[in-house]
Structure formats: C-alpha cells, structure tokens
C-alpha cells in the first residue's frame, strides 16, 4: 500500500512536482521529464526512482532507442492505492471504491434516512465499504483516504456539519474522527452539491473551468467551480443559494411581501406543497417527478414556475461569477425539461448580455455516481498533493 497521507517534512520538493506532470496518465521517459521540468538529469533520475519505490508510478514499457539501451517510460499508477467515496442524500446513500485517478471500481446504493443520525448512517456506509472491498478482493489497508458528501452545510476544515436543516443529530458531529476509528486515513467531508460539481465536471465537462452545478431536490444548493477550482468560501458555505431570498418579480404569482427563501419556494418539497394546496396528492419530490412524467398539467406548471424562481437567483450568480456553464441536477431536474425551461427563461432575460453570450444551461449528464466520483476526486486532490508526495519520497 502507498502511504501517501502520513508524511511530515518535504526533503525532495521536486518529486511531488514531477508526479503532478505524470498524473495525466501519459507515459514519459526520464529524459522527457528533464526537458519539461528544466531540472538536472541526475535530479530527475533520483526523484523518479523515489516515486517508483513509493509505488505511485510504474514502468510503462520502453521508448524508441536513439542508440544504446532503450529508455524506460514511467507512468502514474492509479492502483497504487484506493479511496472510499460516500455520497449521502436525504433518502439515499451511495458508497464506492475508487482508484487514485478517481475511477469508480465498484459501488452500491441503498435507501437511507439521513435523519437516522450520524452513527447509524455512517456505520451503514462503512459496512458497505467493507463489502465492496471484498468484492474487488482488496484489503482495508489499501485505503489512503475517505471522502464524504452530506446534504447540509459543512465546515470543510473540520469536516463537521453545521446547523444542517434536514440532518437532526449531525450538528458539529465529528465525522472524520468517527470514520477514522475504522479507516485511519485522512477523511474529508463536504456539502453534497460540492462533490456533485466535482463529479459532473470530471465526467462530462473536463475542459470547463468555470461551472456552477445546481441541485434542485428536497433542498437547493450550488457547487461553484471557478478558474478550475472548487470554491468553498471562508467557512465552506459558498453556494448555499437555497437560503437566498428570491427577488420579487412581476411575473411571479407570489405576493410582493413574500420573503421566503428559494428552498421554501422552489424545492421539490415546496412544489409538492403547492400541488397539495391545489388538491393534488403529492408529499415529496418523488411524487412531483412522477406527476410531471405522467403529464399532469398542474405539476408541469408548478415545476416550470419553480425553474423561474431558481432563475431569479441564478441571474445574480451569472452576473457576479460569469460561469460558462450551469448544470442543473437533482431529482426535479430529472423529471424533464420543464425546470430547465423556466430557469433559461429568466436567466437569459435578466443577466447581462456579455455574461450570457456563450452561457450554456444544461441538464446533469454524469448519472447516479457523480457524487461518489466527486468525493473520490476530493480525496485524491488532497492525498496526491505535491507536499504529500514529497513527504513520501523524502522517507525512501
């Protein structure tokens, strides 16, 4: 197993830098790495040898010889370690095992009530992780990190949920410490929408550096990727658009004095409440989706109006952040184009022309494993950081 998470001092800083070059999966010779880095051949050779000893890179065949012995190519070894990725929703949990490139090797999804409390939910997830490790014939010792997404605000620096509205018993719960009783590795926790943004970008839009992922389900939230990096803000609450008061619009059926926030107006729960007020049986987001798919006119109208309300808030986001892509996900988005149609209608009308000139507003394409893919990426970004790789190489 590669111990990429337990180092201290960095005696060979160039080792981590060289490793970042190799993370793209392309095999290179030591001579090619010397050209790319500008370091001395002897320096590159010693750093590559340390990376080979760590297991993070491996020989990948021979290059064409220009005379003498053919040089060996070196490539990133994504199977040098594994990560546990967990995506916890309000009613479902997905657990996966991924390699160091973020590729999902195996996963399982089960019904799970987040309100059951942290111990119960985390115990189930950890039990699933052990079953999945057995499925791929891997031992727990190969795990180098655990990533967890939860449906509520998280102080990312500590991994503790903070006043999560639909997670009773989770407030300030020390998730990393609890999980480390099972896996003694770095444990990173983030809002579920942030890991969805990472997963969506990796799977569907790897070339897009400015992306906003919006989840419309039981709650509403956004994950913001700007300049190629996930933006969490000072305390980790960036993107919490569900608690933004929706600007009044003459086109909205809401009265001018309505001061509710976006989640109370446009979430799946809010749409269901609106339908019940019209005498239509709908208790949850899943009922709204079923009604829309069945062609119920009232459900379609309510979902499109919810999209307009989301658009009112997103128009401000577009003007401030100027993303090139907005991806709409969550259960309500999967009901069809009605939510997106409402969002597009308002965003393109209320945002400045320069910000919307090339703006795309699309439905999520990454599928059910986007969350765990993002959780895995979150972990590998941490444990394969140059400083961690340097620390490992320094001890070899």
Q: At 12, is the pLDDT very low, low, confident or very high (cuts 50, 70, 90)?
A: very low
- Tens-digit pLDDT profile for residues 106-133: 999 999 999 999 999 999 999 999 999 9
DSSP 206-263: TT-SSEEEEEESSSEEEEEEETTEEE-TTTS-TT-GGGSBPPP-TTSSS-TT---BHH
Q: At 69, is the pLDDT very low, low, confident or very high (cuts 50, 70, 90)?
A: low
Which helix (H) or strand (E) element contains residue 286? helix 285-293
Largest CA distance in the chain: 83
The per-residue pLDDT for 394 is 65
Mean pLDDT over 87-107 rounds to: 95
The per-residue pLDDT for 68 is 55
349 - beta bridge partners? none
- Tens-digit pLDDT profile for residues 213-264: 999 998 899 999 999 999 999 888 899 999 999 988 887 888 888 889 999 9
Mean pLDDT over 130-159 rounds to: 95
Mean pLDDT over 351-380 rounds to: 94
Q: At 5, is the pLDDT very low, low, confident or very high (cuts 50, 70, 90)?
A: very low
Q: At 15, is the pLDDT very low, low, confident or very high (cuts 50, 70, 90)?
A: confident
Mean pLDDT over 149-154 rounds to: 94
Q: Output 291 or 234, whichever has higher pLDDT.
A: 291
pTM: 0.89
Q: At 63, is the pLDDT very low, low, confident or very high (cuts 50, 70, 90)?
A: low
184 near 194, Cβ under 8 Å?
no
- Tens-digit pLDDT profile for residues 335-352: 889 999 999 999 999 999
For residue 382 the two structure tokens come to 């941490």
Q: At 7, is the pLDDT very low, low, confident or very high (cuts 50, 70, 90)?
A: very low
Q: Please, how many CA atoms are within 13 Å of residue 84, restricted to the half-sphere of its CB? A: 34
The per-residue pLDDT for 336 is 85
Mean pLDDT over 173-180 rounds to: 98
Answer whether residue 395 shows pLDDT above 80. no
Q: Output 126 or 388, whichever has higher pLDDT.
A: 126
């Amino acid at each position: 197993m590669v111990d990429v998470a337990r180092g201290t001092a960095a005696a060979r800083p160039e080792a981590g830098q060289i490793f970042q070059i190799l993370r793209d999966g392309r095999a290179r010779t030591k001579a090619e790495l010397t050209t790319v880095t500008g370091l001395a051949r002897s320096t590159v050779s010693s750093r590559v040898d340390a990376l080979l000893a760590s297991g993070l890179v491996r020989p990948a065949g021979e290059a064409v010889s220009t005379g003498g012995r053919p040089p060996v190519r070196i490539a990133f070894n994504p199977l040098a370690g594994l990560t546990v990725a967990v995506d916890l929703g309000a009613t479902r949990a997905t657990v996966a095992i991924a390699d160091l490139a973020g590729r999902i090797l195996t996963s399982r999804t089960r019904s799970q009530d987040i309100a059951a409390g942290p111990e119960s939910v985390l115990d189930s997830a950890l039990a699933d992780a052990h079953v999945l490790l057995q499925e791929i014939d891997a031992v727990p010792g190969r795990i180098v990190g655990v990533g967890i997404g939860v449906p509520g605000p998280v102080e990312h620096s500590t991994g503790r949920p903070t006043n999560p509205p639909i997670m009773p018993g989770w407030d300030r719960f020390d998730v990393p410490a609890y999980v480390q009783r099972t896996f003694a590795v770095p444990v990173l926790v983030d809002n579920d929408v942030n890991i969805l943004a990472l997963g969506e970008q990796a799977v569907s839009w790897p070339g897009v550096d400015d992306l906003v992922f919006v989840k419309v389900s039981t709650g509403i939230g956004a994950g913001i990727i700007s300049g190629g990096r996930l933006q969490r803000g000072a305390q980790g609450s960036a993107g919490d658009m569900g608690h933004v008061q929706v600007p009044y619009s003459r086109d909205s059926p809401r009265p001018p004095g309505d001061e509710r926030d976006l989640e109370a107006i446009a979430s799946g729960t809010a749409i269901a409440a609106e339908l019940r007020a019209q005498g239509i049986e709908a208790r949850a987001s899943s009922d709204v989706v079923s009604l829309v798919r069945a062609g119920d006119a009232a459900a379609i109208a309510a979902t499109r109006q919810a999209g307009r309300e989301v658009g009112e808030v997103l128009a401000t986001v577009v003007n401030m952040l100027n993303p090139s892509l907005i991806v709409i996900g969550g259960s309500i988005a999967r009901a069809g184009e009605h939510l997106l149609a409402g969002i597009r209608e308002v965003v393109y009308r209320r945002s400045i022309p320069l910000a919307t000139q090339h703006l795309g507003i699309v439905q999520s394409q990454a599928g059910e494993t986007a969350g765990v893919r993002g959780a895995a990426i979150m972990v590998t970004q941490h444990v394969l950081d140059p400083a961690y790789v340097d620390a490992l190489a320094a001890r070899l």
